């Protein structure tokens, strides 16, 4: 009986020792859960940094966008004004009606660059143009409006903006802005054409301050309206 018990204890000790040796063998390794968990965040690649836009490129894009917006505004304002005037003509029941022609003339010196023009007739914008490069000032004359209008008294509003332009001792003019606003009553008789020349000029003399020189004057002429059927080869 004692031999049987001693033999059983010996077998148990041998089995436990074999298990410990197998666990400590070089080929047996416990799973590295910590390494597997930390591998997931490292797999995500960092986002590529966005390249910043330099100031020059941004300014060019902004100027192009502003020019496109101004062109769209001009088209909308002119279309709206013409539709408004046409609606008034129809509602008033005027058959003959009248016609208004508005022309802008630039007689400013090279010290002033025309960069913005806004015309309104009876409060409705009929012409808006902006050009920071000074292209407007290079045109000695351009048409603002030419169309039918209800006979009677109308109010023409003109807003002009100039940018100083100079060199040498007058280089400081580049940082100046000059704005001129003026209104003028336009009389349009029935069956007549009223032509208004809006002239931007410099008033005063050499001693007049630069900010007081930009001015506007008006030259109006009323003529008999010529019907299309009445014009012939000899009228051209």
Residues 6+ apart with CB under 8 A from 82: 126, 147
Q: For residue range 166-214, what is the model confidence (pLDDT) as tens digits? A: 665 455 566 788 999 999 999 999 989 999 999 999 998 888 888 889 9
Q: For residue range 90-115, what is the model confidence (pLDDT) as tens digits? A: 545 444 589 999 999 999 988 888 99
User: How confident is the model over 214-224, as a mean pLDDT?
Assistant: 93
Q: For residue range 114-150, what is the model confidence (pLDDT) as tens digits? A: 999 999 999 999 999 998 876 777 889 999 999 999 9
C-alpha dihedral (79, 84, 89, 91), degrees to nearest 10: 140
Residue 231: per-residue pLDDT: 45
- Calpha distance 198→141 (Å, rounded): 10
Q: Average model confidence (pLDDT) for the chain?
A: 74
Ramachandran quadrant class, 134 (left: phi over 0; alpha: psi -120 to 50; beta: rest):
left
Paired tokens of 142: 């351009």
């Amino acid at each position: 009986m004692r031999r049987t018990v001693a033999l059983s204890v010996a077998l148990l000790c041998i089995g436990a020792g074999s298990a410990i040796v197998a666990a400590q063998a070089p080929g047996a390794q416990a799973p590295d859960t910590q390494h597997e968990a930390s591998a997931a965040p490292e797999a995500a690649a960092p986002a590529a940094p966005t390249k910043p836009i330099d100031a020059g490129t941004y300014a060019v894009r902004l100027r192009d966008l502003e020019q496109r917006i101004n062109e769209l505004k001009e088209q909308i304002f002119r279309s709206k004004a013409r539709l408004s005037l046409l609606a008034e003509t129809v509602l008033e029941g005027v058959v003959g009606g009248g016609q208004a022609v508005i022309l802008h003339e630039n007689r400013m010196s090279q010290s002033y660059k025309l960069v913005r023009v806004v015309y309104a007739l009876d409060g409705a914008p009929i012409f808006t143009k902006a050009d920071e490069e000074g292209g407007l000032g290079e045109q000695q004359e351009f048409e603002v409006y030419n169309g039918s209008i209800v006979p009677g008294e109308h109010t023409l509003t003109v807003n002009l903006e100039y940018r100083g332009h100079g060199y040498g001792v007058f280089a400081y003019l580049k940082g100046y802005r000059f704005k001129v606003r003026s209104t003028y009553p336009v009389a349009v008789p029935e069956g007549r054409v009223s032509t208004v020349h809006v002239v931007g000029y410099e008033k005063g003399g050499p001693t007049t301050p630069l900010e007081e020189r930009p001015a506007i004057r008006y030259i109006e002429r009323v003529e008999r309206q010529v019907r299309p059927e009445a014009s012939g080869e000899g009228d051209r």
